[in-house]
Amino acid sequence: MNKFNVFLLLCAILVPTFAFYEKGDVVELTSSNFDRLVIQSDEIWVVEFYAPWCGHCQQLVPEYSKVATALKGIVKVGAVNADEHKSLGGQYGVQGFPTIKIFGANKRSPVDYNQQRTAQAIADAALAEAKKKITEKLGGRSSGGSGGSSDVIELTDSNFDKLVLQSDDVWLVEFFAPWCGHCKNLAPEWAKAAKELKGKVKLGALDATAHPSKAQEYGVQGYPTIKFFAGGVKSRSDAVDYDGGRTSGDIVNWALEKYTESIPAPEVYELTSEEVAKKACENKALCVVSVLPHILDCDSKCRNNYIKILKNSAEKFKKQSWGWVWAEGGAQPHVEEALEIGGFGYPAMAAVNYKKLKYTSLRGSFSTEGIYEFLRDISFGRGQTAPVRGATVPKVNTNEAWDGKDGQLPEEEDIDLSDVVLDEKDEL
């Protein structure tokens, strides 16, 4: 065996006993610190996955060290001994050495670096990712990919139940693997859909390779797997498989349909106080105000039929997120006067925009069909409006809520004639 071969044999034996980058600006990454330093940080990272016995890895050391020094303070540069930390290599689909990945704005989908292994080329690629992130933060569009999205919520084993199951929010959750090509293709569409659905459906993403227990809990066997969780407190068994397409439009349409099905109809409140008025109508685009006949003119069965009509109407128009209240005729005179309803007959209805202090009244029948036509026109922006009388939000009286019973006429008091002293001229 010649001296050169002996030297290589010694390298193969001795190199694994020490880290490549013990000194210098390259950060040594391990299974215990990778998630904290790389994934959970807001910094751009260039990460090399190497094996100590790999000749190409050994040749890369001086160039990679130059990159770390040149990018210091701008981009983080790290290295993983994938021979020692096999789980990290497997998590990111590392199949050869050295493998370099750039963890840019979208940490869940690192960019594979496949260019020249020179300090300049690696630095240029890292700076391109940094520029992309800056462009996105300034509100522009990055070229060549979706980058990250603050609207996609990162889920983990520790926060999944709290954010998804124990909330009233509607969720779409993607279980992905960083090395999965289909997941990478989905990433920009998922980010775009998250932005469009903001305020209605929350979109989350869970790295199933980093959090295998949660993926196993939901029976994830392939990537990406998407699960839907309806609004309200929910359990694991409530998860529904997503079966739509993988464009942002497909995702948005599918989610909105499920969202509409899952959101509860708004409650129809009896208007008995200022607090009820605020609870039902504050921050709503419109408030649908109904005045029902007095209980002496319309018994409990009659009133409940009207309330049923209101609840069915609220269900049909629940996507509009309007407020709904009703009052007994004469119980809220300020409201009736401000909206010019009720005085000419009951039942009556008006839809009022308290921010603009404008309203429009139901002129048709107070029936399922009549109310539907009235509110449909409003939802399409049709119909004549009038200013609220007094140009201010009407005062709401504080009254007792209806007890659900029929009305009772007040009992007449009996007169006891035994105590009455009659004058001689008085006659019975």
Dump pLDDT digits (tens) for 136-169.
676 543 333 333 446 899 999 889 999 999 988 8
Write down the pLDDT at residue 7.
42
Contact at 8 Å (CB) between 25 and 69? yes
Query: Do 272 and 256 share a domain, yes or no?
Result: no
Averaged over 111-124, what is the pLDDT?
92
Indicate the range of 244-258, 306-320, 408-422 predicted with least confidence: 408-422
In a domain, 425, yes or no: no
Structure tokens at 52: 């100590």
Burial class (CB in 10 A: 0-12, 13-18, 19+), 358: middle
Query: Do 365 and 274 share a domain, yes or no?
Result: yes
Query: Do 30 and 118 share a domain, yes or no?
Result: yes
Question: Distance between CA atoms of 157 and 18, rounded to whole angstroms?
Answer: 34
CA Rg value for the chain = 35
Query: Do 247 and 340 share a domain, yes or no?
Result: no
In a domain, 76, yes or no: yes
Query: Do 14 and 114 share a domain, yes or no?
Result: yes
For the chain, the domain total comes to 3
pLDDT above 50 (res 424):
no
Active site residue 183: yes
In a domain, 58, yes or no: yes
pLDDT above 60 (res 186):
yes
Residue at which a domain ends, from 371, 387, 403: 387
In a domain, 146, yes or no: no
Write down the pLDDT at residue 14.
42
Query: Do 235 and 347 share a domain, yes or no?
Result: no
Write down the pLDDT at residue 8.
42
pLDDT in tens, 275-292: 999 999 988 989 999 999
pLDDT above 80 (res 262):
no
- The neighbouring-strand residues paired with 81 are 50
In a domain, 394, yes or no: no
pLDDT in tens, 312-368: 999 889 878 899 999 999 999 999 999 999 766 899 999 999 999 999 999 999 999
In a domain, 142, yes or no: no
- The domain that holds 30 is classified in CATH as 3.40.30.10
Query: Do 220 and 287 share a domain, yes or no?
Result: no
Active site residue 54: yes
Q: Say which of 11, 57, 287, 298 is annotated catalytic.
A: 57
Query: Do 19 and 117 share a domain, yes or no?
Result: yes
Active site residue 57: yes
Active site residue 302: no
Contact at 8 Å (CB) between 89 and 82? yes
Cα angle: 171, vertex 201, 176; to 5 degrees: 45
Q: Say which of 183, 281, 287, 298 is annotated catalytic.
A: 183
Structure tokens at 427: 């006659």
Q: Within 10 A of 231 (CB to CB), how many other CB atoms are there? A: 18
The strand ranges marked E within 3-161 are 27-29, 45-50, 76-81, 99-103, 111-113, 152-155
Question: Distance between CA atoms of 130 and 19, rounded to whole angstroms?
Answer: 28
Q: Which residues contact 240 (CB under 8 A, 6 or more apart)?
A: 227, 228, 229, 230, 258
Question: Distance between CA atoms of 80 and 19, rounded to whole angstroms?
Answer: 10
Residue at which a domain ends, from 236, 262, 288: 262
Provide the residue range defining the domain that includes 334: 268-387
Query: Do 303 and 317 share a domain, yes or no?
Result: yes
Q: Strand, helix or coil at 142?
A: coil
Cα angle: 194, vertex 355, 338; to 5 degrees: 145
Residue at which a domain ends, from 104, 137, 170: 137
